[in-house]
Amino acid sequence: MDVKSSSPFYLRFGLTIVSLAILAVALYLGRGILVPFFFSILLASLLLPVTKFLQRRRLPKVLSISLSIITAMALIGVIVYFLSSQIGNFLEDIPALEKRFNQLLWTAQKWIQENFNIGIRQQNKYLNETADNMDSPNVMRTVITVTEIVSYLIFLPIYTFLLLYHKDMIKRFLIEIFKNDNEDKVREVLQESQLISQQYITGLMIELCIVFTLNSIGFLILGIKYPIFLAGIAALLNLVPYIGMLIANIFCAAITLMSAPDVSNVLWVAVVLVAVQLVDNNILMPYIVGSKVKLNSLIIILGVLTGGALAGVAGMFLAIPALAVMKVIFERVDNLKPWAILMGDETTVAEEKKNVIRRTFNRVRERAQAKSRTKVKAK
């Protein structure tokens, strides 16, 4: 990795592009197998500290891994069961929501006819053509089918168990491939990648809980229908950078418009979501998810869109940790360092200090830490 290549730039650039294209094609063709495997890597990174803790308690390796996975799956099951009741209430009201939607659509069509001289028949024709286009395979690919859900339920715990069980063998394999002068760099990349995965997933779970709580409080204060359901949807979509929050705003506003008697509630729902997003972007993401995932906005957006095109919603979620790991690798390969620079975040310390919300939060945190140190000294 340290030896600089004597090949011309255009050849190295072309090989890099071809390699990325091959990886993209492989992911697209094998997404049914690879996407659950990638999720298993993230879950294994998250459960690795728990497994090590249980092994230090003299539990056998197999039992430690099994207990970790069972606990994680049970926790996921509890969350799904809690949300299922909210989803059930929402599904029961779909006929009423559909009736309300038709009323709003008729009002909107009358307004368009009066102001733009476009007949209702012509509007319906355009809507039908749009609906037919929405039924194309490209859109349907993004929908998670029952088969995919079953494959996740079956293969996710199996992959995770095998990765945790054979982690030492996998590590030795990767080190042996680059054994000569690159062994230290391979160890460093593996350690840094594991740290990024753990920090990113742990931070996202904490962020998800906080965003869900803040959304729920805001929606309950407004008194809109389905507050917990909408808060959960918005929190889950928030995991997808930029695009997810836009979809969450549109979805929550549309459901509120169809279910609330007061149209002003739609505006207040948007205010709640924007306020929570400001807190998330300026406090939760920098201080909970951490600064390890230092990627610029352009690369994040392109990565999320590419991940969505290759593997649907799951690809959007996996895009950020995948880009972060790629950046770690690029930083340690001389010929690929320019790509790491392209992916990096140029935000300087001076620009960080200009952020009013973040600066205020830092002051409050510093004062709290100073008070705690004073109490410790007094004792």
User: In order along the chain (379 residues), what is the average pLDDT of each group of 10 residues?
Assistant: 57 81 87 87 89 91 93 85 76 77 80 79 76 51 56 85 92 79 76 80 85 92 88 87 84 85 85 90 72 75 88 85 85 81 68 56 62 59
Both tokens of 267, joined, read 């505006």
Task: Name the residue among 74, 59, 250, 248 with its Cα closest to residue 157.
Answer: 74
Q: Which two tokens stand for residue 121?
A: 């028949």
Q: Residue 140's pLDDT is what?
A: 43
Helix axes 61-92, 227-237, angle to 10 degrees: 130
Q: pLDDT tens, 145-164?
A: 556 666 777 888 999 999 99
What single string gives the DSSP state of each residue in 12-33? HHHHHHHHHHHHHHHHHHTHHH
Tell me how many degrees the CA angle 140-324-251 measures, rounded to the nearest 5.
35
Exposure string for 7-33, b = 16+ CB within 10 A, e = fewer: eeeeeeeeeeeeeeeeeeeebeeebee
Position 66 scores a pLDDT of 94
pTM of the model: 0.72
Between CA 162 and CA 44 the distance in angstroms is 9
Share of the chain above pLDDT 90, in %: 15
Query: What distance in Å separates the CA atoms of residue 124 and residue 130, rounded to the nearest whole number?
Result: 10
CA distance 367 to 356: 17
The pLDDT of residue 1 is 46
User: Where do the structural domains in the chain lie, given as residue ranges?
Assistant: 16-165
